[in-house]
């Protein structure tokens, strides 16, 4: 709905949420690539192959999987033996190499934990393990293990087990494979051995393993050598949780399979490939538009509508950069990166990696736009930068309204506080605990702050929105040391009662405009100019109860777009353009509470 220009007296503004970006644009980073080699060593390197560091140096070889946590701050990996532990299991390590075992023979009955999958909030890991090879979860912080799905007992020559359990993006469900193993005759010759035949089906269940429903394949007729008609395996959720992609083949056919997408309830089956090659390790792009997978020798990518099939080149185990522009593969001794369109196939040759190091697995680190959470009741700020670095400090009094801006024009955003009781602004020029570097009075008690670069000079100033009038008061200067400011440079009406004000450069012209988020409908309205008028644009983004924030996320240089913090699940959802659609990426914040409000900027 465009044409928003309504003003009412006596409006009540609810939770204050603001976010103001620095004027300078910061490009979206790639994140690091983790490598697991055949000796159980884990390395980290930049996406161009530089900066190789050894993170884990175990005394015993083994392991098969390395997997980034959703927040990009930890790695899970499997190992046959590590440090002083005789048994293998699954480990979690920080980026400082502080690793600890979270599953072991003591807990699960076997020295291996297969197919790990992080929960979206990073609190649990889902995996196959135990003496019964069931599906388990382990609480990463406390080591509490829970069996959530038990396999059926072996019937005759057919045994069943589980593979590839994985959490849905919102953590409410899991998908997994029940795969049967049977043996058929290999021929009549004396030296012929029985041939192994797999069949499988995809199941979806609640996160605790209850209410499981088979969504693919069907049971074989009585007397068949396989349990299921098809061999379905390797399920992966779409980023929005509405669909599942998987590989589907004919039992006993080890040569070919097809890439299939179904709705999460099993309906609307779409085959995206023709079955002329294998489908292994399918993985969905973070933006939800494409699926990559490995074939017999090359890897491929295709859009989810079946168009734009691209041969990426030799390599397997595709993992995506967080901005969905590139894909990493591993060959026998190398890691390669390639663009989504198949161009720029590059073999990385990191200095320091042994030439004979066999690459078993790799994973590309999630890299997220810089965002922070503030608990106004405690004055506690937590700011997460592009590479996962976290800064935590205390600043402010209970009830102060937090925001951020570049007050000294150095390209770095730092904290600001607005004290609604007296209209004072308190600004710091560093992201650390301390007293205000700048303080001044502007506005009336009850006004709401927003910061922006209103004249394109590279410096942010503090302006206000007056809920009682639905009027913005914009000024292009900062006060100093308890002095007040004069009249606003711009004042104009925009919005409806209870709309939440934000600022941002919506059109990329270097000058910030204003915006409003309407909690009652989930619509965001913005204006590119600092005057009264109808909205220049509007989009729907977020659910009721979400807390809105805007910032330059680095994908469209110099432009600000929305994000929302969802207190109900502790996740921040980002949209990379001012267009309708689902979140382009999301970031879990495990210790977030309902008290937190989001801030953003170039930290």
Which residues does the chain have with pLDDT short of 70?
1-29, 58-63, 80-88, 104-113, 131, 153-158, 184-194, 387
Half-sphere exposure of 281 (CA within 13 A, CB side): 22
Q: For position 11, what pLDDT does the model report?
A: 26
The 8-class DSSP code of residue 582 comes to S
Cα radius of gyration rounded to whole Å, the chain: 27
Assign residue 388 a region: left if phi > 0, alpha if psi is -120 to 50, beta otherwise?
left
Q: For position 38, what pLDDT does the model report?
A: 80
Burial 179-205 (b: 16+ CB within 10 A, else e): bbbbeeeeeeeeeeeeeebbbbbbbbb
Half-sphere exposure of 142 (CA within 13 A, CB side): 6
Q: How far, in Å, are 210, 276, 300, 321, 328 from residue 318 at the CA level?
A: 31, 19, 9, 10, 6
> Helix or strand or coil: residue 108?
helix
Q: How far, in Å, are 78, 173, 210 from residue 135 at the CA level?
A: 16, 13, 12
Q: For position 253, what pLDDT does the model report?
A: 80
- What gap in Å lies between CA 462 and CA 453, rounded to an integer? 9
Give pLDDT tens digits for 137-161.
999 998 899 999 988 766 656 678 8
Cβ within 8 Å of residue 210, ≥6 positions away: none
Query: Measuring CA to CA, which residue among 63, 68, 64 is closest to residue 83?
Result: 63
> Helix or strand or coil: residue 372?
strand
- What gap in Å lies between CA 293 and CA 339, rounded to an integer? 14
* Lookup: tokens for 509: 């012209």
Q: For position 15, what pLDDT does the model report?
A: 29
Q: Contact 372/419 with Cβ under 8 angstroms?
A: no
Residue with tokens 């777009």: 561
Q: Contact 366/68 with Cβ under 8 angstroms?
A: yes
> Helix or strand or coil: residue 494?
coil
Query: Measuring CA to CA, which residue among 50, 35, 137 is closest to residue 90?
Result: 137
Q: For position 186, what pLDDT does the model report?
A: 60
Q: Contact 134/162 with Cβ under 8 angstroms?
A: yes
* Lookup: tokens for 526: 């913005």
- What gap in Å lies between CA 438 and CA 384, rounded to an integer? 24
Q: For position 81, what pLDDT does the model report?
A: 58
CA angle 305, 280, 288 (to 5 degrees): 35
- What gap in Å lies between CA 386 and CA 24, rounded to an integer? 15
Q: For position 584, what pLDDT does the model report?
A: 78
**What are the two backbone dihedrals, phi and then psi, of residue 371, each rounded to the nearest 5 degrees?**
-150, 155
Burial of 58 (0-12, 13-18, 19+ CB in 10 A): buried
- What gap in Å lies between CA 16 and CA 14, rounded to an integer? 6
Give pLDDT tens digits for 477-512.
999 888 888 889 999 999 887 888 999 999 999 999
Query: Measuring CA to CA, which residue among 67, 68, 112, 60 is closest to residue 89?
Result: 112
Q: Contact 345/318 with Cβ under 8 angstroms?
A: no
């Amino acid at each position: 709905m465009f044409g928003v220009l309504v003003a009412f007296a006596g409006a009540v503004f609810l939770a204050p949420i603001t976010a103001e970006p620095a004027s300078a644009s910061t490009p979206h980073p790639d994140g690091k690539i983790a490598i697991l080699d055949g000796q159980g060593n884990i390395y980290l390197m930049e996406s161009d192959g530089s900066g190789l560091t050894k993170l884990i140096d175990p005394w015993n070889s083994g392991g098969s999987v390395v997997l980034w946590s959703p927040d990009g701050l930890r790695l899970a990996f499997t190992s046959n033996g590590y440090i002083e532990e005789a048994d293998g299991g699954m480990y979690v390590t920080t980026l400082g190499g502080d690793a600890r075992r979270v599953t072991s023979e003591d807990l699960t009955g076997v020295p291996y934990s297969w197919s790990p999958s992080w929960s979206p909030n990073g609190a649990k890991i889902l995996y196959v393990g135990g003496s019964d090879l069931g599906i388990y979860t382990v609480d990463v912080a406390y080591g509490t293990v829970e069996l959530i799905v038990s396999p059926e007992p072996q019937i005759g020559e057919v045994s069943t087990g589980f593979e590839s359990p994985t959490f849905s993006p919102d953590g409410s469900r899991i998908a997994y494979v029940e795969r049967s193993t049977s043996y058929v005759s290999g021929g009549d010759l004396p030296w012929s051995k029985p041939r192994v035949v797999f069949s499988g089906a995809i199941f979806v269940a609640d996160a605790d393993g209850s209410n499981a429903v088979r969504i693919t394949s069907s049971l074989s007729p009585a007397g068949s050598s396989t349990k299921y008609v098809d061999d379905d395996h390797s399920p992966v959720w779409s980023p929005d949780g509405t669909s599942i992609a998987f590989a589907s083949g004919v039992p006993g056919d080890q040569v070919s399979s097809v890439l299939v997408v179904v709705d999460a309830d099993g309906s609307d089956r779409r085959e995206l490939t023709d079955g002329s090659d294998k489908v292994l390790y399918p993985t969905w792009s973070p933006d939800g538009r494409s699926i990559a997978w490995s074939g017999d020798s090359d890897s491929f990518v295709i859009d989810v509508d079946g168009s734009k099939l691209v041969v990426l080149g030799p390599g397997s185990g595709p993992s995506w950069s967080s901005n969905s522009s590139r894909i990493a593969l591993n060959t026998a001794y190398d890691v390669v990166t390639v663009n989504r369109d198949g161009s720029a196939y590059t073999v990385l040759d990191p200095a320091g990696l042994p030439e004979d190091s066999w690459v078993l697995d790799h994973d590309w680190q999630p890299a997220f736009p810089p965002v922070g959470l503030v608990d106004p009741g405690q004055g506690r700020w937590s700011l997460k930068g592009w590479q996962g670095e976290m800064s935590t400090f205390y600043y402010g009094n209970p009830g102060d309204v937090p925001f951020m801006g570049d007050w000294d024009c150095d390209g770095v955003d730092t904290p600001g506080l607005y004290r609604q009781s007296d209209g004072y602004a308190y600004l710091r020029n560093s992201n650390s605990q301390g007293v205000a570097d700048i303080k001044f009075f502007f506005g009336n008690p009850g006004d709401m702050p927003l910061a922006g670069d209103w004249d394109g000079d590279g410096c942010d100033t503090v302006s206000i929105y007056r809920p009682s009038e639905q009027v913005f008061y914009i000024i292009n200067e900062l006060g100093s040391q308890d002095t007040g400011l004069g009249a606003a440079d711009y004042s104009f009406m925009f919005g409806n009662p209870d709309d939440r004000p934000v600022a941002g450069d919506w059109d990329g012209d270097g000058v910030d405009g204003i915006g409003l988020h309407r909690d009652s409908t989930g619509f965001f309205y913005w204006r590119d100019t600092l005057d009264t008028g109808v909205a220049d644009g509007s989009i729907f983004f977020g659910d009721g109860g979400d807390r809105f924030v805007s910032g330059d996320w680095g994908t469209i240089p110099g432009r600000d777009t929305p994000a929302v913090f969802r207190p109900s699940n502790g996740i921040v959802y980002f949209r990379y353009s001012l267009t309708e659609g689902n979140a382009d990426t999301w970031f879990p914040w495990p210790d977030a509470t309902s008290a937190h409000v989001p801030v953003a900027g170039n930290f």
